[in-house]
């Protein structure tokens, strides 16, 4: 019977990542080095304490890494490595699927119970990060997409993101100018927002934000895109009812203001 020898730490770590404990790994490796062994011999070839050998062997049998004879005393043999690793991977995949299903049930509880009074607002920095969030909002739209954005922001950064919006979902766009042919797919409102700038106070508020906009999807997800003086935009995003209502009212209010301004 071969005496125990040092097992590379890297091999032990690899077996641990497959779901084995240190003792299980040592016993399995020890059995691979012999044609079969009793529990006492397993202790000798693996270096695992005698009291731990039987519990470890039982677990390895359950994991389909070790087979056991019906003789007295019982003898144990290791499953070949190819089959053994395949058995471990199958168990991992099964456990992962069970975990995914269980975790998903907890995750969906908040959708069934609602979010109560919690109104989280997230800050997003950088144009690429904002565009990524917007793209996800548009792609998952089910009922409606509404946006009010400056023409520069709309046509340079936002318009291409609207392509994945399902054809059955209406898209309403409000902007102060539009260059080129108007898309037939969207309801486009080109309103003279510049007329508001006749009022000095309004002009002071609007001019610094030539690339800004508000976006509302399904009346539940809202994003406010704000241009920055340093050229780095930021945004506020939320799925709270409060921000969604604010955005809806903001769009309606701007439409009313601009209509009054040109009368």
Quote the tokens at residue 99: 């975990």
Query: Are the beta carbons of 250 and 155 closer than 8 angstroms?
Result: no
What sign does the dihedral 246-247-253-254 (CA atoms) show?
positive
pLDDT for res 23 = 95
pLDDT for res 14 = 93
Quote the tokens at residue 120: 């989280």
pLDDT for res 6 = 81
Q: Which residue has tokens 């399902």?
A: 166
144-203 pLDDT, tens per residue?
Answer: 999 998 888 888 889 899 999 998 999 999 888 887 777 778 888 887 655 444 444 444
How far CA 203 is from CA of 187, 198, 200, 259, 260, in Å, comes to 27, 7, 5, 17, 16
Query: Are the beta carbons of 179 and 120 closer than 8 angstroms?
Result: no
With a pLDDT cut of 70, the percent of the chain lying above it is: 82
Q: Tell me the three state secondary structure of residue 136.
A: helix
Per-residue pLDDT of the chain (263 residues; tens, 9 = 90+): 555 568 889 999 999 999 999 999 999 999 999 988 999 999 999 999 999 999 999 999 999 999 999 888 999 999 999 999 999 999 899 888 888 888 887 777 665 555 544 568 889 999 999 999 999 999 999 999 999 988 888 888 898 999 999 989 999 998 888 877 777 788 888 876 554 444 444 444 444 446 788 999 999 999 999 876 666 889 999 988 888 888 888 888 877 765 654 44
pLDDT for res 183 = 76
The C-alpha atoms of residue 187 and residue 179 are separated, in whole angstroms, by 15
Q: Could you tell me where the DSSP H helices lie in 140-207?
A: 151-153, 200-206
How far CA 37 is from CA of 54, 118, 134, in Å, comes to 12, 61, 63
The C-alpha atoms of residue 148 and residue 122 are separated, in whole angstroms, by 20
How far CA 189 is from CA of 71, 143, 248, 259, in Å, comes to 86, 19, 15, 11
Q: Which residues contact 228 (CB under 8 A, 6 or more apart)?
A: 234
The C-alpha atoms of residue 18 and residue 216 are separated, in whole angstroms, by 45
pLDDT for res 201 = 41
The C-alpha atoms of residue 133 and residue 124 are separated, in whole angstroms, by 9
Q: Tell me the three state secondary structure of residue 126.
A: coil
Instruction: Name all domains of the chain by residue range, CATH numbers in brackets.
Output: 1-114 (1.10.10.10), 121-261 (3.30.870.10)
- Residue 66's region, left for phi above 0, alpha for psi from -120 to 50, else beta, is beta
The C-alpha atoms of residue 208 and residue 144 are separated, in whole angstroms, by 29
The C-alpha atoms of residue 247 and residue 252 are separated, in whole angstroms, by 9
């Amino acid at each position: 019977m071969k005496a125990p020898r040092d097992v590379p730490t890297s091999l032990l770590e690899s077996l641990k990542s497959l779901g084995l404990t240190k003792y299980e790994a040592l016993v399995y490796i020890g059995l691979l080095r012999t044609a079969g062994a009793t529990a006492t011999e397993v202790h000798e070839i693996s270096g695992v304490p005698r009291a731990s050998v039987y519990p470890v062997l039982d677990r390895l049998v359950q994991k389909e890494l070790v087979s056991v004879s019906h003789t007295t005393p019982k003898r144990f043999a290791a499953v070949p490595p190819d089959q053994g690793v395949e058995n471990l991977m199958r168990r991992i995949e099964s456990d992962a699927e069970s975990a995914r299903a269980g975790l998903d049930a907890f995750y969906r509880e908040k959708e069934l119970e609602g979010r109560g009074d919690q109104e989280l607002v997230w800050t997003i920095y950088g144009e690429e990060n904002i565009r990524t969030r917007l793209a996800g909002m548009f792609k998952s739209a089910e009922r409606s997409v509404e946006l009010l954005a400056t023409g520069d922001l709309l046509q340079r950064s936002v318009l291409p993101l609207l392509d994945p919006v399902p054809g059955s979902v209406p898209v309403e766009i409000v902007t102060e100018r539009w260059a080129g042919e108007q898309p037939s797919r969207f309801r486009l409102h080109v309103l003279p927002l510049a007329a508001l700038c006749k009022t000095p106070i309004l002009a002071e508020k609007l001019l610094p934000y030539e690339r800004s906009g508000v976006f509302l999807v399904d009346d539940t997800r809202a994003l406010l895109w704000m241009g920055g003086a340093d050229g780095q935009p930021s945004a506020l995003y939320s799925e709270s009812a409060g921000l969604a209502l604010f955005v809806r009212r903001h769009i309606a209010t701007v439409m009313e203001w601009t209509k009054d301004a040109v009368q």
